[in-house]
A and B are shown apart, each in its own frame.
Chain A
């Protein structure tokens, strides 16, 4: 690192805009959302200031105090105090504070000041503060705090200009370090009150719009109804808007595969390209629009500030099953992928609550399961409108997500009764102001999701599909063989071996085989099925058509239920191992989910068979 590199740490209360500021300064694309606890790790970026000096920026998890309770807060405390392993003490600390809520945020600023390091206070969200009529006497605030104060708007281009100028200029003088004890901490509150009285004029402590919306959204009855309606409409829209485009892409790849087949000589390479690449990968790629529509809604809700309200509404329900409202945000993140959800549990202070959340997070339906759901629903659930408005396929999709949530609650309830410590922990969570989602931010989020999906598709999913094609094609059938060639392949033997385990839940050998690559990446189950059926010559009219002809409704429903509860992917297990430092928890997680998925699929398969 060059001598002129300045190490800067961004600290502040949760949801004050640290990561937005980090992205603005460094050009990074770290996840931002309008709720507390998005950043649970230390993130690092660089940018070159106008003077040519390189600034190394550390984005740290939000904390209300240096009396850290949760693992994410400990990172911030340790980095600022110089106790983080392998990390030098920052040269400068930028303390980010929400200008609309200085009553809460200034206390931490004073706490940071006591460290005796050079600090700059960034009054963020100044545009919102002005809109709400909040007047801050910045020079007076600067004088009273004894640290440089600059205004920032982290979500606007050029919103950190004043901050960059200040940081690039002369290094602020550090206040002398002060002891940190209970008496002095209590004194901080008095200091905050005194400073606010002298420097801040607020017409109201809360925004008028927030109060008006919260009267309905946080209502114990109407609030829950609104939440249920929002979720229901999201899944209706996912199916109504995403599926037609998905079908179009699927058909396009089928046409392209057929066209390429005519250009290549018949042989194994043609089979690989047509059955493996166009058939397998093309089928999975077709589900990208469905995933993007789902994320459009998730990103919009994240930006709006509605999600912490949902956590508040569900807190009582979560407590009844042994969880806390604080589990809500990590569980919600698990709808994208269980891994950020499990990482997000670092914001949960109580280790028992954290472990319970880690163990049930994989039951939330991750986006990788969506292609499997969409494929089977499209093949087996008729396009039918309930009450003339609601799409039956969308209702089934909603029911599958609900099944995951109810399964998680059931597991939480069992864990609550198994553990010795049955104490409950009250939820204390800051409700952010509502915010109109910015089209640009949502578009960037969607772009990121699309890029992640395509990266997976052209990486591990492509690799697994090629291997699936290989084991479905080789070895060639022996001389005099009478059955289909695929029956004599490695895939045929492995699939039929696995069928002994999965036949009671209605899976044929092809489905049993597809469960193996799904363990690496769930979407691969779709590509694997497409490849196996294409190599077997049974999917000429598309995978959905082949499945509808090859397996019964009972098997299809059983497979849907299997994917709702099935053991998570390997990456998730690896993260559980890392976060809990225990192979036992990995075994518990895998074991209970396998038993749960198998039992649920068995019941669904047998009952459906009896009824149909």
Chain B
């Protein structure tokens, strides 16, 4: 395999990996954030090389700004992030018999 082809495959590998991450974040935002946070803590530990810690910092998941919370990014009408206690208590449908 020529060097040119090797470089091309390396670039493609990185692009595909980044794409997997982007798509996975879209489809499973909570799980991805959990994984990223765990990886971030792992790489940011004291004693690691500076560049590893910097990489770990970059992995730290960003706080979601919308409280639709599901990452649709289509309407731009999401509200600001509510307090944690409120997020734990959504407003489900409740059916009660009519009076």
Q: Show the binding face of A for B, using Cβ within 8 Å.
A: 29-31, 38, 41-45, 71, 74, 84-87, 265, 267-269, 272, 333, 336-337, 339-340, 343, 346, 351-352, 354-355, 366-368, 421, 423, 448-449, 451-452, 455-456, 459-460, 462-464, 466-467, 470, 520-521, 569-572, 574-575, 578-582
State in angstroms the CA–CA spacing of A10 and B12 once bound together: 51
State in angstroms the CA–CA spacing of A30 and B8 once bound together: 44
Evaluate contact between A462 and B75: CB separation under 8 angstroms: no
Query: Interface range on chain B: under 10, 10 to 19, 20 to 34, or 35 or more?
Result: 35 or more
Which of A43, A466, A582 interacts with B16 by CB under 8 Å?
A466
Report A-chain residues with C-beta under 8 Å of the C-beta of B72. Answer: 337, 339, 569, 571-572, 575
Q: Would A581 and B92 be within 8 Å (CB), given that A343-B68, A367-B74 are in contact?
A: yes
State in angstroms the CA–CA spacing of A362 and B94 once bound together: 22
User: Nearest 6 A-B pairs (CB), nearest first?
Assistant: A86-B83, A581-B92, A86-B85, A463-B22, A41-B79, A85-B85
Report B-chain residues with C-beta under 8 Å of the C-beta of A74. Answer: 91
Evaluate contact between B68 and A339: CB separation under 8 angstroms: yes
Q: Would A351 and B19 be within 8 Å (CB), given that A86-B84, A86-B86 are in contact?
A: no
State in angstroms the CA–CA spacing of A602 and B18 once bound together: 38
Evaluate contact between A272 and B90: CB separation under 8 angstroms: no
* Number of A-B pairs, beta carbon distance below 8 Å: 147
Evaluate contact between A339 and B70: CB separation under 8 angstroms: yes
Extra pairs beyond A86-B84, A579-B93 (6, CB < 8 Å): A31-B76, A31-B77, A41-B79, A43-B79, A45-B80, A368-B74
Does any Cβ of A come within 8 Å of B51's Cβ?
no
Shortest A327–chain B CB gap in Å is 15
Query: Which of chain B's residues has its CB closest to A468's CB?
Result: B19
Report A-chain residues with C-beta under 8 Å of the C-beta of B82. Answer: 41-42, 86-87
State in angstroms the CA–CA spacing of A579 and B94 once bound together: 11
Q: Would A265 and B79 be within 8 Å (CB), given that A84-B86, A464-B19 are in contact?
A: no
Evaluate contact between A571 and B70: CB separation under 8 angstroms: yes
Evaluate contact between B70 and A574: CB separation under 8 angstroms: yes
Instruction: Report which residue of A31, A41, A579 has the largest number of chain B beta carbons within 10 angstroms of its beta carbon.
Output: A41
Which of A71, A85, A460, A574 interacts with B88 by CB under 8 Å?
A85
Evaluate contact between A85 and B83: CB separation under 8 angstroms: yes
State in angstroms the CA–CA spacing of A30 and B78 once bound together: 8
Report A-chain residues with C-beta under 8 Å of the C-beta of B83. Answer: 84-87
State in angstroms the CA–CA spacing of A575 and B92 once bound together: 11
Report A-chain residues with C-beta under 8 Å of the C-beta of B8. Answer: 267-269
| Main SS class of interface, A | helix
Which of B23, B81, B89 interacts with A460 by CB under 8 Å?
B23
Evaluate contact between B90 and A581: CB separation under 8 angstroms: yes
Does any Cβ of A come within 8 Å of B98's Cβ?
yes
Does any Cβ of A come within 8 Å of B26's Cβ?
yes
Evaluate contact between B73 and A456: CB separation under 8 angstroms: yes
Report B-chain residues with C-beta under 8 Å of the C-beta of A421. Answer: 98
Report B-chain residues with C-beta under 8 Å of the C-beta of A352. Answer: 95
State in angstroms the CA–CA spacing of A106 and B41 once bound together: 54
Does any Cβ of A come within 8 Å of B4's Cβ?
yes
State in angstroms the CA–CA spacing of A352 and B95 once bound together: 8
State in angstroms the CA–CA spacing of A216 and B39 once bound together: 63
State in angstroms the CA–CA spacing of A74 and B92 once bound together: 13
Show 23 A/B contacts (Cβ-Cβ < 8 Å), sorted by A.
A30-B77, A41-B79, A85-B89, A87-B82, A87-B86, A267-B4, A269-B8, A339-B75, A351-B93, A354-B93, A421-B98, A448-B76, A452-B75, A452-B76, A456-B73, A460-B23, A460-B26, A463-B23, A467-B16, A575-B68, A578-B90, A579-B93, A580-B93
Evaluate contact between B27 and A570: CB separation under 8 angstroms: yes
- The residues in B between 45 and 82 inclusive whose CB is less than 8 angstroms from any CB of A are 67-82
Q: Would A268 and B12 be within 8 Å (CB), given that A339-B68, A423-B98 are in contact?
A: yes
Shortest A525–chain B CB gap in Å is 15
